[in-house]
Structure 1
Amino acid sequence: MKGMGMMPQHRRKPMSEINVVPYIDVMLVLLVIFMVTAPMLTQGVKVDLPETTSDPIQADKNVESIVVSVDANGAYFVEVGDRGSDPMSLTEVREQISKILSQRASSEILVRGDEHVEYGTVVRLMAELQGAGAGSIGLITESPLDDK
């Protein structure tokens, strides 16, 4: 008799498979969460803005303003101080603003858009101005009382 008090030793083979069922469960839960939240991220919300008048912001006298205008036809104009420009394309505006900001980084940039210009035209202009290095961009508006 071989080793009476000893039980025969059976060695377990190492398991070479990974149980992926818990990972699949987590993946499906995340997939459902992303499918539900993704449409909410891309949709806009309808907002009715209040009509109010506001006090003008006091400009710093030491900083020269750069005014970029968009007329009703969608043409762009750059005004530095008292100097205006001829109509230019969006890429020309970006190049000129980039040159000006490389010399005078503290200049403030203001956008004056005609009320009949499409919203996308002004947004594209503002994106190009940011790409040219503008840190902050202001919008020029008129008070509703000025029309009366």
Structure 2
Amino acid sequence: MLRNQNEELSEINVTPFIDVMLVLLIIFMVVTPIVTSSVKVELPKAVSDQKQDINKPIILSINEHNEIYFGTELVGSENLAAVLDQKTGGDRENVVYLHVDKSVPYEILIGTIERIKKAGYSKIALCSKVEQ
């Protein structure tokens, strides 16, 4: 039976498709061993006996009357160094936290910081009191 020239072909030419699939198969065959090969990495072991910080934080407060407190204990500005040494056990690497009321004059705050620095404590953190 002969076909007419005007009739369309409904068949798909699969030869280029097979060529592309074979090329992809070869690529995957070459790449797969490269991807699955791994490099052995030795990770460091965790140390379980790390030094725990058992020291309580050193918190000094300056209230609106310019009084310096260590917790609830009133501390005079002249014996601030002695109180810090007593509370830290002479460890000058501790951080001294200052909770300062917003009404405290700048000069009082700077004077207190200077006294703490003269006592040998160089790690000082400033905080402001939150009104409730």
Q: TM-score, normalised by structure 1?
A: 0.47
Residue 106 (structure 2) pairs with residue 125 (structure 1): no
Assess if the C-alpha contact under 8 Å between 1:64 and 1:107 holds in 2: no
- What is the alpha-carbon distance in structure 2 between the residues aligned to residue 100 and residue 147 of structure 1? 28
Distance in 1 of aligned mates of 2:131 and 2:76? 31
Given candidates 60, 64, 77, the residue that maps to 1:90 is 77
Where does residue 108 of structure 1 map in the other structure? 95
Question: What is aligned with 2:67?
Answer: 75
What is the total number of aligned residue pairs between the two structures? 80
Q: Deviations over 1:81-111 (max 9, x none)?
A: xxx31x2210122221133344333321011
Percent identity of paired positions between Structure 1 and Structure 2: 11
Distance 1:103 1:88, change over 3 A: closer
Distance 2:99 2:118 in 1: 18
CA distance in 2, matches of 1:91, 1:104: 20
1:120 and 1:114 map into 2 onto residues whose CA distance is 13
Output the aligned Cα RMSD. Answer: 2.4
Q: CA deviation at 1:132?
A: 0.9
Q: In structure 2, do the counterparts of structure 1 residues 104 and 116 end up closer, same or farther at CA, with 3 Å as the change threshold?
A: same
After TM superposition, what 4+ stretches of structure 1 lie above 4 angstroms from structure 2?
none
Give the 5 Å matches for 1:4-23. Answer: none
Q: Which runs of 5+ in 1 are unaligned?
A: 1-60
Q: Which residue of 1 aligns with 2:34?
A: none
In 1, Cα distance between the equivalents of 2:90 and 2:108?
A: 27
Query: Aligned to 1:64, which of 56, 74, 88?
Result: 56
Q: Could you tell me which runs of 5 or more consecutive residues in structure 2 were left unpaired when the two chains were aligned.
A: 1-51
Structure 2: how far apart are the matches of 1:98 and 1:131?
A: 12
The answer as to whether partners of 2:63 and 2:101 remain within 8 angstroms in 1 is yes
